[in-house]
Structure 1
Amino acid sequence: MTIDLSQCTDRELAALADAGTGAGAGSGRQDVYREFLARYKAPVFRLIRSNVGDADEAMDLTQESFVAAFAALGRYDGGRPFYSWIARIALNKCRDWGRRRAVRAFFTRALPLETAYDVAGDTPAVDVEAADRAELARVQRAIADLPARLREVIVLRAVEELSQAETAALLDVSEKTVETRLYRARARLRTMLGAAGEDSDSIG
């Protein structure tokens, strides 16, 4: 009997990969892996690229993330979305990459202007059409200079648009920690971008 993998839940796919036996087990697992790739390659790539800023590096890290995930698939309990599980693996790959290379330009793709202003501290644009390119470039450079723990929160909340609870689960911290890091990230950005009235001592 042929199983339509596209109709399986993440938990069911993981169980099929783990339970595969016999002569066709190898090809069966490969089919499961291909289904996971079809579902999650694009969002994982987007998450990684938002952290490293280079498409080629992001593609390599995406592949590494899936290889690591498939090797550890037996530890996926199915009690949470597969994306949450592999996103944590992907973030760890980004951290490893950051330690290996002193790369500053993490955000090469343009963010929507409204997102950039939100990240910069909810400062409304006086003339959006005239200021968008310059402001985006300034925000991107400032984000690239943030410590990893602050940058990750900005990426997950502002770029990936995850909720505070989802961000906390991915980073394995409390929601209060996410709130604090987001506040500090925005405070640091306001200071770096020269916003009036921001005291650098508030960054902590």
Structure 2
Amino acid sequence: MNDTGTDVGDRELVSRALSGQQSAYTHLMDRHRTVVFRVVRHHTGDESEALDLTQEAFISAFASLNRFDPGRPFRTWLLRIAINKCRDWARRRAVRRLFRMARPLEEAFDIADQGQDPESEAISRRELARISGAIASLPANLKDALILCRIEGLSMAEAAQVLGLSEKAVETRIYRARQKLSEILEG
């Protein structure tokens, strides 16, 4: 096995991290941060919040790494932590809305993609924002299954493990989420 972590599995990286090897933490984060960020972003509908929650999820995971069960997939364990962070965020969201009026200045400098004309770009952004908002507005129990399976590509079995549900329950929640999304987007 090499020291870069590229040929090493998650379980070995966890073992190395627990033995104090800082690079193992970096490799675990590099390997999983994109999927965690995407799940969290779809859950919150807000990129800035998603960055914060992704960081919180990794901090929590690394702080409790000694409780990771090596008999289970690391990604599943990490996604469960991330979804729990999203649920915590949703509970605090009402208070956070008071502070949302102060948007970062960087958002004012958002530059349009040169590949589309301004009108098409605006339509695309509005439609993407509308869909993201609709997904974010779903109840957490429906949103979680939809994001994991249909957006992130996890199997029903993997999503069931992450959510602590049966595969049939995941399937049912995805069906209901799609129905709810249709109602929201058509209404």
The TM tier, using the shorter chain, reads 0.7 to 0.9
1:42 counterpart residue number: 34
The residue matched to 2:175 in structure 1 has which SS?
helix
**Alignment CA distance shift 1:185-1:15 (3 Å):** same
2 CA distance for matches of 1:3 and 1:139?
Answer: 42
1:116 counterpart residue number: none
Q: Which segments of 5 or more consecutive residues in structure 1 lack a partner in the other structure? A: 105-130, 196-204
Aligned pairs for 1:1-204 within 5 A? 3-18=3-18, 20=19, 25=20, 28=21, 30-102=22-94, 136=128, 138-194=130-186
- Per-residue CA deviation, residues 91-113 of structure 1 (Å, 9 max, x unaligned), is 00011011101489xxxxxxxxx
**Alignment CA distance shift 1:16-1:192 (3 Å):** closer
- Given the two structures, how large is their TM-score scaled by the length of structure 1? 0.69
**Range with bigger deviation, 159-168 or 83-92:** 159-168
The residue matched to 1:77 in structure 2 has which SS?
coil
Larger radius of gyration: 1
Q: Are 1:11 and 1:77, in contact at CA under 8 Å, matched by a contact in 2?
A: no
- Given the two structures, how large is their TM-score scaled by the length of structure 2? 0.74
The residue matched to 2:138 in structure 1 has which SS?
coil
Tell me by how many angstroms 1:191 deviates. Answer: 3.0
Count of aligned positions: 160
The one-letter code sitting in structure 2 at the alignment partner of 1:188 is K
- Indicate the percent of aligned positions where both proteins have the same amino acid: 50
Tell me by how many angstroms 1:134 deviates. Answer: 6.6
Q: CA RMSD in A?
A: 2.4
1 CA distance for matches of 2:55 and 2:181?
Answer: 32
- The higher-RCO structure (CA 8 Å, 6+ apart) is 2
Tell me by how many angstroms 1:80 deviates. Answer: 2.6
